[in-house]
Structure 1
Amino acid sequence: MGEMQDLAALIRAGTPLIVVETADEAQAVDMFRQTLTRVWRAMYRWTITEGLRRIDLDGEDPAEVAADVGTTLRTIRAATQRGVYLLLDFHPYLEYGGSQRQMRDILQRRDCLPHTLVLVGHRVELPRELESKAIRYRPRLPDAAALRRMVNEQAQAFAAEHGGRRVEQDPEAVERIVRNLQGLSLGDARRIARQLVFDDGALDERDLPQLAKLKFELLNRSGHLHYEYDTAQFADVAGARRLKRWIEQRRRVFTEGDPPPGLDPPKGMLLLGVQGCGKSLLAKAVAGGFGVPLVRLDFGTLYAKYHGESESNLREALSSAEQLAPCVLWIDEIEKAIASGGEGDGGVSRRVLGYLLTWMAERRSAVFIVATANQVHELPAELLRKGRFDEIFFVDLPTADVRAEVFSLHLARRGFAAGDFDLQALAAAADGFSGAEIEQAVVSALYAAHAAGQDLDGQLVLEEIQATRPLSVVMREQVAALREWALERTVPAD
């Protein structure tokens, strides 16, 4: 109702030029048709294939004017009745000087009635002379009630096409599907819902992962986001008990989307730590713990050579992430993307950082950020202050108990019974090893066993451990400095 009132007010005010950017032309045309119930005007639609025809009467009149742009504009200028003209994909033809002149004459009401021209397209770019006269109108996205009706319509359509067979519906899953469809246009949401319904004749929990993938493929036109299909569960991660408990306490508030009064939804966390200690795995496990999709922002694809293009790419990527909400946005090795420094790149990094910080502070969508970093001294101070992230966790070298758990996980993952190995002895021998180095010791021992034609045993794993110099030894000073810095400034993940 509010959308119809807004459009009717614009038309009554004699707005000369309205720009509607949408991929759903049919919805835009229908929106203006409904507006005519509030304000009477003759309504016309133009396309390059059909020309100009009146569409507000019963049925549609045949084309009244040829598709030629010049002829169309002259006809509009000479019209003896005020009208609303929906011009679909008309803007490319305004690059020509003659077309621009004719357009300005209509907008300035030179020897013509006060018409309203509406340019409709997926992305409408206007010449500067016309942009100043345009009002850009963004159609409102459907609310939960409209999406629920649409899902029911798709279920009815399935029944009609399958001899009355009813769609099996899990009410709780349907509500989650509706919630995940929010942020899409009605046309895009309808295409996804139809695919989910007609795939197996059911709407249940099994549809949620497929919905997330379809929504991502629809929204990520820029290619700056990567959908991580292979998320993890906290059971796959050794240690990190404090971090796991922190996520579990916030799970319902984040996923249900309606926090109790006075409680803000969680925004994100920064994971600092020694290389190879499982920060990337934890980022995947956070998404698994919340039960939401994981998307990774590739900063390397954002930077472009033209002024302002990098910031525009970031805006587009973050906008896509917001439309995927609820989700986890993973920024890996964030220090390499926005590390503090000079103006050697023309200030692009500083502008990108500024926009990211503003978005982090002002966003209201359910996008939980997990940023990982290895070199804390390269991070700008404004990123680390409280309020940017809910918490800064430090992922340290694993303790003896956690090392034993890591050995157990990697042996079990490769089909070996952990009980056949002396895990405590292996953990003691691997003092100072990261999780990645423990995994590599198991892999190397498997290669050695294969080459020797024997079964894997604890002795082979011990030999590989003894032959390895971990990063905590090779880069002792840097690792020690990082651990000392984090001791009183961060929260231990375990």
Structure 2
Amino acid sequence: MNGKQPDTALDIETLVRARYALIILETYEEDRAIAMLGEIAERTGRLLVTWSVTQGLRTIDDEPYADEGSRDLLNAFNAIEAKKDSLIAVFKDTHNIITEQNPMVVRRVRDLASSLKYGSDEHIKTVILLSPVVRIPADLQKSVSVITLPFPNKGDIDKVLSNLLISQERNAKTDADKETIKEIDKELSENGNRDTILKACLGLTLNESEDVLAKSIVSTHKIHPAVIIQEKEQIIKKTGILEFFRQEENLGTVGGMDALKSWIQKAKMRNSKEAEKFGLRLPKGILLIGYAGTGKTLSSKVIASELGVPLLRMDMSSISSKWYGETSSKLKQGLNQAKAVSPCVLLLDEIEKMFSTGDGGSQAQGHEETLRAMSVLLTEMEENTEPVVFVATCNTPYNLKPELMQRFERIFFVGLPNQEERAEIIKIHIAKVKRNPDDFEIDKIVEATEGMVGREIRTIIQEALASAFYEQAKDVTTEHIVAEAKNLVPMSHQKQAEFGELRKWAENKCTMATSPLPAQVKKKPEKSRKLEMTG
């Protein structure tokens, strides 16, 4: 990772010393967070206490700090307020309790924040709400500061790996098991293997890293990157924010779009040590605009494959939430995970579903949470120093904010494939059903698929295959494909006006993914003199 990781401990300590009364620390890693807060408490001369609904208030040594009544959140607040200690009080899982549905609790939190901020100079107290998600009732928005604990870096994971190997060797039941651990440790020290393993664990919590490393040792008697990546896919998928895609596409699986392909090849050249020494970095991102089914998402997979990095997909509609702060929190969490996994390609699929401004005065334009989330994305794209390539797709770009579009280094318009491109697409999909394209009359199929996008061409070839099977034909033929093409009315014909409008919009705003065909030059008639012959 090239960027400098935020010093979250320093940020929190600064707020504590500045007497901020109420802080939200967003993280799934309770143990890691509490260990960090314990160090801050020690440096600032505070006592660290924790609260949960099951155990009430307890000290860091797991001793009761108040009576059993402190399991009630309001009673716990009262106890904190009354204690004659300088404190950092960590409250767990309050995002399900401090909500707009509990106005009395929200009011008590506001009172507590004011009381602690302007209370005794002798007994200074800070309340930290530890939560995996940020949900801030509107009444508390101005009373709380929010800090996100970033994913562990390679140094953090390296400590976990070292401790795991030490404990495994110590607890080995046989000499053979001890030798296995020693062999693993030896392999890790060779040819940069340890660094490869640490990179593979980026984007996971410390507990998740320890689990996948342990699983690899148990299942393969090695620490194998493939095992880690496989587990990592499942872990990332469980968050519901990002989806991990395997790289199975390449430039050969995309028909046409020569200008976009040229950009991808140049981006690949920039992913090298030579380019880095020259002062080049990976592109920050591109925006792919066009009709549905034209290959925008496929192109993002090809970009990741050609760069040799993972592809993470963020479905913009899935991270929207009715809770104040949760949409931007989910977006930030996904961006942080992408940075931790980097280098990678981050696909923001159908970006207009979240960031379209709508018509003047529309709800989307004025929705504060949408604006907050957009601010998070704009800042990240502008200031991020990690090798994350943002690839956004969009079907209807008319209401995208200009400042969002300006964040992308290149905006491509992916239109309807021309004849040559349809021929390429047809051959690709015929080959995908394990048939030889040379056995088909491609020109006839090209003519029959006028106005179709790649997805529609794939559909008719699949349907032709099914028809041939139902007929018990020897094999699928050109005639089967042409017949299926006649049964499908292309979307470009059904929505001719909309397709024309989008094409017109894109002409002066985008780079065409397909280079225009050279205009045919009309031959001028040859000059000749007409002679008048004498008799």
TM-score, normalised with respect to structure 2:
0.70
Alignment of 1:163 onto 2:178:
yes
- What is the aligned partner in structure 2 of residue 27 from structure 1? 32
1:389 aligns with 2:408: yes
Give the 3-state SS of the residue equivalent to 1:324 in structure 2: helix
- Identify if the C-alpha distance between structure 1 residues 130 and 408 changes in structure 2 by more than 3 Å, giving closer, same or farther: closer
Percent identical pairs in the alignment equals: 22
Residue 468 (structure 2) aligns with:
449
What residue in structure 2 maps to residue 323 of structure 1? 337
Shift in CA distance, 370/447, structure 1 to aligned 2, threshold 3 Å: same
Query: What SS does the aligned partner of 2:178 have?
Result: coil
Alpha-carbon offset, residue 23 of structure 1: 3.7
User: Counterpart of 2:393 in 1: which secondary structure?
Assistant: strand
Matched-pair contact (CA < 8 Å) for 1:48–1:67 = no
Alignment of 1:283-302 (within 5 A): 283-290=300-307, 291-299=309-317, 302=320
Matches within 5 A, 1:186-205: 186-205=206-225
| Contact preservation (8 Å) 1:18, 1:118 | yes
| 1:55-113 Cα deviation digits (max 9, x unpaired) | 5xxxx58547533335996698465xx55454543966993999998997676556x94
Q: Deviations over 1:354-381 (max 9, x none)?
A: 74266235341544333333445x3446
Distance in 1 of aligned mates of 2:38 and 2:336: 31
Letter in 2 for 1:359: L
- Counterpart in 1 of 2:389? 368
- Cα distance in 1 for residues equivalent to 2:106 and 2:416: 65
Amino acid across the alignment from 1:146: D
- Distance in 2 of aligned mates of 1:129 and 1:157: 49
Residue equivalent to 1:89? 92
Contact 1:21-1:121 at 8 Å conserved across structures = yes
Partner of 1:427 in structure 2?
Answer: 446
Which residue identity does 1:413 align to in structure 2?
K
Match of 1:178 in 2: 198
Q: 1:235 to 1:109 in 2, by over 3 A?
A: same
Give the secondary structure class of the aligned counterpart of 1:389: coil
Rounded to whole Å, the distance in 2 between the matches of 1:131 and 1:472 is 47
1:351 Cα deviation after fit: 6.7
Tell me, yes or no, if the aligned pair for 1:472 and 1:479 is still in contact at 8 Å.
yes
Alignment CA distance shift 1:350-1:481 (3 Å): farther
Classify the secondary structure of the residue corresponding to 2:390.
Answer: strand
1:297-327 Cα offsets, whole Å, 9 max, x none, are 24266264x7xx4x74144224323322334
Relative distance call for 1:22 and 1:314 in structure 2 (3 A) is closer
**1:7: Cα distance to partner?**
6.7
- In structure 2, the CA distance between the partners of 1:8 and 1:209, relative to structure 1 (3 Å rule), is closer
Classify 1:249/1:77 alpha carbon distance in 2 versus 1 (closer, same or farther; 3 Å): same
Judging changes above 3 Å, is the alpha-carbon distance between structure 1 residues 176 and 490 closer, same or farther for their aligned structure 2 residues?
farther
Residue 238 of structure 1, aligned match among 241, 255, 260 = 255
Q: Offset at 1:292? A: 1.2
Q: Which amino acid aligns with 2:284?
A: K
**Alpha-carbon distance change, 29 to 428 in structure 1, aligned in 2, over 3 angstroms:** closer
**In 2 relative to 1, CA 450–28 (structure 1 residues): closer, same or farther, beyond 3 Å?**
closer
In the superposition, relative to structure 1, how do residues 419 and 203 fare at CA in structure 2: closer, same or farther (>3 Å)? farther
Instruction: Supply the AA of the counterpart residue of 1:202.
Output: K
Greater Cα shift, 357-366 or 275-284: 357-366
1:150 alignment partner in structure 2: 160
Q: Secondary structure of 2:155's partner?
A: helix
Matched with 1:122 is 131
Q: State the alpha-carbon separation in 1 of the partners of residues 209 and 24 from structure 2.
A: 23
Question: Residue 428 of structure 2 aligns with which residue?
Answer: 409
Give the superposition deviation at 1:48: 6.1
Shift of 1:349: 6.2
For the pair 1:342 / 2:352, whether they are aligned, the reply is no
Deviation per CA, 1:398-426, whole angstroms, max 9, x where unpaired? 34443333222222222222232233453
Name which of structure 1's ranges 268-277 and 156-165 shifts more when overlaid on structure 2: 156-165
Q: TM-score, normalised by structure 1?
A: 0.75
Other structure's SS at 1:449 match: helix
Residue number in structure 2 paired with 1:206: 226
Residues 1:460 and 2:475 aligned together: no
| Alpha carbons 1:212, 1:293 under 8 Å: kept | no
Q: Give the secondary structure class of the aligned counterpart of 2:255.
A: coil
How far 1:10 sits from its partner (Å)?
A: 6.7
User: Could you say if the C-alpha distance between residues 172 and 479 of structure 1 is closer, same or farther in structure 2, counting changes exceeding 3 Å?
Assistant: farther
Equivalent residue, structure 2, for 1:66? 67
Give the aligned residue type for 1:122: S
Measured in 1, the distance between the counterparts of 2:483 and 2:106 equals 76
Change (3 A) 1:187 1:491: same
Shift of 1:391: 1.1
What runs of 5+ residues in structure 1 fail to find an aligned partner? none
Structure 2: how far apart are the matches of 1:38 and 1:3? 15
Change (3 A) 1:13 1:425: closer
- Corresponding residue SS for 2:263: helix
SS of match in other structure, 1:68: helix
* C-alpha displacement of 1:237: 1.8
Distance in 1, matches of 2:485 and 2:281, equals: 46
Pair 117,240 (structure 1): closer, same or farther in 2 beyond 3 Å: same
Structure 2 CA distance, aligned partners of 1:232 and 1:159? 42
Letter in 2 for 1:163: K
- The one-letter amino acid paired with 2:391 is V
Does the aligned pair in 2 maintain the 1:410–1:439 contact within 8 Å?
A: yes
Partner AA of 1:411 in structure 2? I
Q: Is the Cα contact below 8 Å between 1:53 and 1:63 reproduced in 2?
A: yes
Q: Any gaps of 5 or more consecutive residues in structure 2? A: 1-5, 99-103, 515-535
Other structure's SS at 2:314 match: strand
Write the distance in 1 (CA, Å) between the matches of 2:494 and 2:144: 63
Superposed displacement of residue 36, structure 1? 6.6
CA contact (8 A) 2:268 2:306 kept: yes
Distance in 2 separating the partners of 1:201 and 1:89: 38
